[in-house]
Amino acid sequence: MNLQEEILKSVELFRKGKVLLIPTDTIWGISCDATNAKAVQRIFKIKGREESKSMIILLDTVEKLEKYLKNVPPLAYDLLANSRSPLTIVYSGAKNLARNVIAKDGTIAIRIVSGEYCSEVLRLLDRPLVSTSANLAGQPTATLFEDINPAIIHQVDYVVEAFRDRVRSVKPSTIIKLDENGLFKVLRP
């Protein structure tokens, strides 16, 4: 299956509420439509993760932030425009997302992706995706496809074939918490 076919198949499955194992622009992730509470619940179950722990939301463009946040602090645009590596920002005032993906304090972690697979899936789907590392709760993050626990592979609805053999030096995104007053704190360098 070529990359375009993978993208179209992924979009179709996400629209049906399925959970997929996908290559993000950083590491392999367990993903679903971030507006589908049932699919989000399945990810918590697959990972064995406490529901109080939040997950990252992926968007394809900065312009879509306003659709999922009550207020986008102006500093967010500067941080995103000037970041040299993948950057996840935790924002206050999440909206239009499945309730179980929003933290109890109303915050949501969002990353604007790069990379041909994720960007195109998000553009065609026109909804945000949940993305969480493809590991069981408490286990190390799998940076290569071959390091993913088989228990995860067997529980998702589909595993994207593209980029399974990709070997590159990657790390999860930097995470910054940004408050409405423009103050920020680095949560994960």
Q: What is the mean pLDDT of the chain?
A: 90
Contact 54, 154 (CB under 8 A): no
Q: How many domains does the chain have?
A: 1
What pLDDT, in 10s, does the model give residues 32-87? Answer: 999 999 999 999 999 987 776 778 999 999 999 999 999 999 999 999 999 888 89
Question: Where residue 51 sits, what CATH number does that domain have?
Answer: 3.90.870.10
Q: Domain range for residue 140?
A: 3-188
Contact 129, 112 (CB under 8 A): no
- Which two structure tokens, joined as six digits, stand for 168? 């590159």
pLDDT interval class at 143 (50, 70, 90):
confident
Query: What global pTM score does this model have?
Result: 0.91
What pLDDT, in 10s, does the model give residues 163-173? Answer: 887 755 566 78
3-class SS at 177? Answer: strand
* Residue pointed to by tokens 């990379």: 115
Nearest to 57 by CA among 136, 138, 125: 125
